Amino acid sequence: MEHNVDGQAIRDRLVETRGMIDDAAKASGRSPEDVTLVAISKLHPAQAVAEAALAGQRHFGENYIQEALAKQDELAHLDLSWHFTGKLQSNKAKFVPGRFDLLHTIDKLKLAQALHKKLSAACAPRQDVLIEVNLALESQKAGVAEQDLPELAEELLRMGSMNLTGLMLLPPFDLDPEERRPLFARLRELRDGLEVRLGMKLPVLSMGMTDDFTQAVREGASLVRVGTRIFGTRPVRT
């Protein structure tokens, strides 16, 4: 079922969101160019993505593989960068090679192994990935525990089919945005420590969403994942 899309509203909200990102970056002594806005378009129609693209938005995030592939095919005429930001099941890894510029949610060795197998079989270019960290140790959420992060990172790099570019965080929803700042700061610290351990740069910190992206930017986010603020209320998944 196609939903009505208010293109002007999407474009206006994009301008407002970018302005807030720019202000937060400058307030923390960073350049606005250091922060990439990933518009989370899950459950919104392809037309909404196209309207955002008209306003210069290039990066889009999707959480469901089949929905993402359908939108990619429909919008193949546009120069867009697609991010996978949802929980990836190992049995869906076969759909990833060649379709996403960045996978945000590697969280366990089993998934990394499944993805490595599919990437290798497809002779695909090295896949840029992030490791999702569960700092609050929420049982209902994905993400590797802090103490297990170095081992997963090292195993992933040994496979050779993936390019680890940084870390991702999804903090507890029941915390006030300001209360999430210590978690954002901790992810930055973990990234810095991992860079030293691995002897390589990990430039990407994917953290911050609609209600806390300014706090995340102030703590070092390089990617913010914003959906509702841009596209409006998300349709119900059917």
**DSSP character string of 105-159:** EE-SHHHHHHHHHHHHHTTPPPEEEEEEE-TT--TTS--B-GGGHHHHHHHHHHH
Q: Residue 96 in contact with residue 115, Cβ under 8 Å?
A: yes
Q: Which two tokens stand for residue 117?
A: 């197998």
pLDDT in tens, 181-193: 999 999 999 999 9
Distance CA 159, CA 113 (A): 8
pLDDT(1) > 50: no
- Which CATH number, 3.20.20.10, 3.40.50.1980, 3.40.50.1000, 3.90.76.10, labels domain 7-231? 3.20.20.10
pLDDT in tens, 97-143: 999 999 999 999 999 999 999 999 999 899 999 999 999 876 777 89
- φ/ψ of 15, rounded to 5, equals -60, -45
- Burial pattern 153-174, b for ≥16 Cβ within 10 A else e, equals beebeebebbebbbbbbbbeee
pTM for the model: 0.95
Percent over 70 (pLDDT), the chain: 98
pLDDT in tens, 31-63: 999 999 999 999 999 999 999 999 999 999 999
Distance CA 2, CA 62 (A): 17
Question: What are the residue boundaries of the structural domains of the chain, listed by start?
Answer: 7-231
